[in-house]
């Protein structure tokens, strides 16, 4: 379906839908609460209820797996995995005794990145996030042993990250630092060869042309805000969540914005379900989440994200050394559609992600499947 629509038109449709989302959902929210939507509310923390201590005892483990095998292809962004471990609520990133002393010392240098004013610190909850992940990119022709100047480079990205979530009931600010390596040391070739051998698939023959080893750093910020939540009729709820942020570093430099709408029974009080996006972890349950009452829930969701890209090492090539590169597009958009459910302290989601072309000579847009599994202790 999406391949019959031009990328320019798809991007325009995505932007139009996002604008409609931003325009309509505040009105829906106002009908229920008799409040007027104010853009300044996006940066004002909301006080958590006093009866929410149970949330503060929960660790959350998130597992992500993305692959284009769900589309019967093996190219472009072809595989991504990530494990993230999110702490219980802590009183302070610097002073809380639950944190190892070395982490508290590191955090003293990062307090300027905390977007919540000091005099409002008690109005929010804070969590630390630790992550480990790998991404893999391949061109379309697996048999070609020479560089194809019209197709993307072979590349892998292996990284570890540490991040900070500052959250109120309906809003969350995330700041993450990812450190890793691009190139053979990322072990993308070895990972793909292992999986292909186990499944009886042919190997890709051009990995000798992958990007060269380069240390990578990525500083990521993202703000999320639930701008509407309402009960349409008994047992059926709707909410809308917007996000905006960006990334800085030699791996990726961009700004992005988007939103998500959800419709279903017993919507979780987290801040949505995202594909494997830096800064996108949002499955931590909040106050009143059905997972804490051993309830079940199920909902469908639709997400949109638009991005303006200054640098993408997986298209632009190595930063300080000559390497394969292509002429990237500075803007692209993606839309995802999926289902998610919770049972007791588990959350499982599946989404199909459609992404427009990312470089000038790319023949087709790309789509892949994204599975996420979360467990809150």
Domains of the chain with bracketed CATH:
2-376 (2.40.128.140)
Asked if 141 and 183 touch (Cβ cutoff 8 Å), the reply is no
pLDDT tens string 106-152: 878 776 666 554 445 556 788 889 999 999 999 999 999 999 999 99
Instruction: Give the H or E element holding residue 14.
Output: helix 7-33
Rounded CA gap, 252 and 226, in Å? 27
Closest CA to 255 of 217, 216, 312: 312
Kindly state the tokens that stand for 163: 């991040």
Q: Which of 87-91, 235-239, 302-306 has the largest mean confidence? A: 302-306
Decide: residue 310, CB within 10 A, 0-12 exposed, 13-18 middle, 19+ buried: middle
Closest CA to 326 of 147, 183, 136: 147
Asked if 366 and 355 touch (Cβ cutoff 8 Å), the reply is yes
38-47, 75-84, 326-335, 352-361: the lowest-pLDDT one: 38-47
pLDDT band at 35 (very low <50, low <70, confident <90, very high): very low
> What whole-number percentage of the chain has pLDDT above 70?
76
Rounded CA gap, 76 and 151, in Å? 9
Q: Which of 30-34, 100-104, 160-164, 247-251 has the largest mean confidence? A: 247-251
Indicate the pTM of the whole model. 0.82
31 has a pLDDT exceeding 50: no
Rounded CA gap, 77 and 136, in Å? 6
Task: Give backbone dihedrals phi and psi of 335, rounded to 5 degrees, phi first.
Answer: -130, 140
With tokens 């023949």, the residue in question is: 363
Asked if 228 and 256 touch (Cβ cutoff 8 Å), the reply is no
Torsion of CA 172, 311, 188, 77, to 10 degrees: 80
Closest CA to 279 of 300, 254, 301: 254
User: For position 115, what pLDDT does the model report?
Assistant: 54
280 has a pLDDT exceeding 70: no
Rounded CA gap, 141 and 152, in Å? 10
For the chain, how many residues are written?
Answer: 377
The mean pLDDT of the chain is 81
322 has a pLDDT exceeding 70: yes
Rounded CA gap, 248 and 287, in Å? 32
């Amino acid at each position: 379906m999406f391949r019959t629509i031009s990328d320019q038109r798809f991007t325009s449709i995505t932007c139009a839908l996002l604008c409609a989302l931003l325009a309509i959902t505040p009105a829906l929210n106002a009908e229920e609460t008799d409040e007027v939507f104010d853009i300044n509310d996006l940066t004002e923390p909301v006080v958590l209820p006093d009866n929410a201590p149970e949330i503060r005892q929960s660790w959350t483990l998130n597992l992500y797996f993305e692959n284009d095998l769900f589309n019967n292809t093996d190219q472009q962004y072809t595989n991504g995995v990530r494990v993230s471990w999110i702490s219980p609520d802590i009183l302070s990133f610097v002073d809380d005794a639950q944190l190892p002393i070395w982490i508290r010392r590191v955090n003293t240098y990062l307090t300027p990145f905390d977007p919540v004013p000091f005099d409002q610190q008690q109005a929010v909850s804070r969590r630390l996030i630790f992550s480990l992940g790998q991404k893999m990119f391949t061109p379309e022709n697996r048999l070609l042993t020479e560089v194809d100047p019209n197709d993307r480079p072979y590349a892998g990205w292996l990284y570890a990250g540490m991040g900070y979530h500052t959250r109120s009931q309906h809003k969350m600010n995330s700041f993450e630092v990812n450190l890793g390596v691009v190139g053979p040391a990322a072990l993308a070739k070895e990972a793909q060869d292992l999986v292909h051998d186990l499944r009886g698939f042919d190997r890709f023959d051009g990995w000798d042309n992958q990007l060269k080893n380069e240390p990578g750093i990525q500083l990521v910020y993202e703000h999320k805000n639930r701008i509407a939540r309402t009960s349409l009729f008994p047992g059926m709820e709707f909410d809308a969540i917007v996000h905006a942020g960006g990334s800085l570093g030699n791996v990726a430099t961009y700004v992005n914005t988007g939103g998500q709408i959800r419709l279903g029974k017993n919507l979780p009080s987290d801040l949505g379900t995202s594909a494997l996006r830096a800064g996108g972890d949002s499955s931590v349950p909040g106050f009143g989440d059905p997972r804490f009452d051993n309830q079940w829930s199920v909902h469908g969701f639709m997400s949109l994200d638009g991005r303006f890209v200054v640098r993408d090492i997986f298209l632009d090539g190595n930063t300080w050394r000559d390497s394969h590169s292509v002429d990237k597009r500075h803007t692209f958009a993606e839309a995802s559609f999926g289902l998610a459910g919770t049972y007791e302290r588990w959350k499982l989601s599946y989404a199909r992600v459609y992404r427009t072309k990312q470089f000038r000579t790319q023949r087709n847009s790309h789509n892949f499947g994204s599975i996420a599994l979360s467990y809150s202790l």
